[in-house]
Homo-oligomer: A and B are copies of this chain.
Amino acid sequence: MKKVLFATSALVMSAGFAAAEVAVSGDGRMGMIYDGDDIQFSSRARVLFTLTGESDAGLSFGGKFRVDQENYSSNPGGRSAAKGSAGEVWISGAYGKLSMGDVVGAAEAAIGDLYEIGYTDGEFANDIEEIWYLVGDGNNKDQGPTVLYEYSIDSISFYASATDGSNTAWYSTTGSGDWGDADATDGSDDVAYSLAAKYDAGNWWASLAYSKHDDADEIALGAEATFDQFSVKGVYAKYSDLYDGVYEFDSTIGLSAAYNMDAITVKGFWRRDSWDATVAGVSDEDYDSFGIGADYELGGGATLAGAIIDSDYLDGGRGDTVADLGVKFKF
């Protein structure tokens, strides 16, 4: 390939042929968070690479990752697009889209999370708006890349995702297992998989997903509806045999809503996580989290945003109520 890149766009337009290319976009944010005790400055800038191409037969292919997702040589267990443990690559055609890397699992692809609020998109409260799916999206990375297959026909979409069932580190893949040891036990070598379907009627959709990893499984339901400026989304996830010490994680129920008036969007969510005690003398626990925030679009990719989140998970000596206020940018 001749390295005339950039210009690809220009050449493509004038010469009328398709060419593989790399697009560079970015985001940033700056503002203040209240961490339950202090007010702190919090800012960031990031760059995303989006790689796209098309084969002679019309297959689309591509990849994407951010600069901050590339870190392998110093951190083999960390995120690295060059090792398949961050970012993703895909190929797409009439028979659907196949993605590999640090992809979301089928359940998350079909259902997703509760609405993000605040200029840090919920990060100031540890992203408590995110549903904890068993497969994909950062889980199971000890097995290297995850695969996600998506196929849509009319109003119905199907999703399937899986890991490879091997946590063996090898020359061209990452893993937590002992090098070259077929029976490595430090981490699971069971396939983690997820299946999901979604029906999208335009102004509402509903999804159902089943996921499995080792003994644990997860059944998740999600639906969202939009009425004029108002939208509402609900998620329910029921887990089996998912242990965390003395508790077993039983279920999550979550609800979020948004109301849009011109440049302003008000958003909120509530979730309850139920933990069952597995040891005598310990009682079951419910953890509630709720938040409310507002976005004000400044145009040109800038948004002024702020939010307050109160979560039982944050109640560890500091206050359990946190807040953020700032601007976020898209470039």
Report A's interface with B, CB cutoff 8 A.
1-12, 18-26, 28-30, 32-33, 35, 37-47, 49-57, 59, 61-68, 70-75, 78-84, 87-91, 98, 100-101, 120, 123-127, 143-147, 163-166, 168, 170-173, 175, 180-182, 298-302, 316-318, 324, 327, 329-331
Contact across chains for A56 and B7 when beta carbons are under 8 A apart: no
Contact across chains for A56 and B300 when beta carbons are under 8 A apart: yes
* Cβ contacts A to B, 24 pairs, < 8 Å: A1-B19, A1-B25, A4-B7, A4-B11, A5-B50, A7-B8, A7-B11, A9-B10, A10-B11, A19-B300, A19-B301, A22-B47, A28-B89, A30-B91, A30-B100, A30-B101, A32-B164, A42-B145, A45-B64, A45-B82, A49-B67, A71-B74, A91-B302, A180-B317
Query: Which B residues are CB-close (under 8 A) to A43?
Result: 84, 88-89, 100-101, 145
Contact across chains for A45 and B298 when beta carbons are under 8 A apart: no
Provide the bound-state CA to CA distance between A127 and B147, in Å. Answer: 25
Contact across chains for A37 and B7 when beta carbons are under 8 A apart: no
Query: Which B residues are CB-close (under 8 A) to A166?
Result: 35, 38-40
Query: Which B residues are CB-close (under 8 A) to A74?
Result: 71, 74-75, 78
* Chain B residue at minimal CB-CB distance from A119: B172
Query: Which B residues are CB-close (under 8 A) to A329?
Result: 20, 51, 53, 61-63, 89
Query: Which B residues are CB-close (under 8 A) to A61?
Result: 28, 302, 327, 329
Contact across chains for B63 and A26 when beta carbons are under 8 A apart: yes
**A85 CB to closest chain B CB, in angstroms?**
9
Contact of A41 among B22, B91, B164 (CB under 8 A): B164
Provide the bound-state CA to CA distance between A279 and B88, in Å. Answer: 49
Provide the bound-state CA to CA distance between A62 and B30, in Å. Answer: 10
**A95 CB to closest chain B CB, in angstroms?**
14
Contact of A126 among B9, B171, B301 (CB under 8 A): B171
Contact across chains for A6 and B3 when beta carbons are under 8 A apart: no
Contact across chains for B180 and A316 when beta carbons are under 8 A apart: yes
Query: Which B residues are CB-close (under 8 A) to A63?
Result: 26, 28, 45, 329, 331
Contact across chains for A20 and B300 when beta carbons are under 8 A apart: yes
Query: Which B residues are CB-close (under 8 A) to A62?
Result: 28, 329, 331
**A57-B124 contact given A12-B4, A24-B22, A49-B24, CB 8 Å threshold:** no
Provide the bound-state CA to CA distance between A232 and B98, in Å. Answer: 36
**A97 CB to closest chain B CB, in angstroms?**
12
Provide the bound-state CA to CA distance between A296 and B84, in Å. Answer: 23
* Chain B residue at minimal CB-CB distance from A55: B298
Provide the bound-state CA to CA distance between A1 and B120, in Å. Answer: 18
Provide the bound-state CA to CA distance between A305 and B59, in Å. Answer: 16
Query: Which B residues are CB-close (under 8 A) to A101?
Result: 30, 43-45
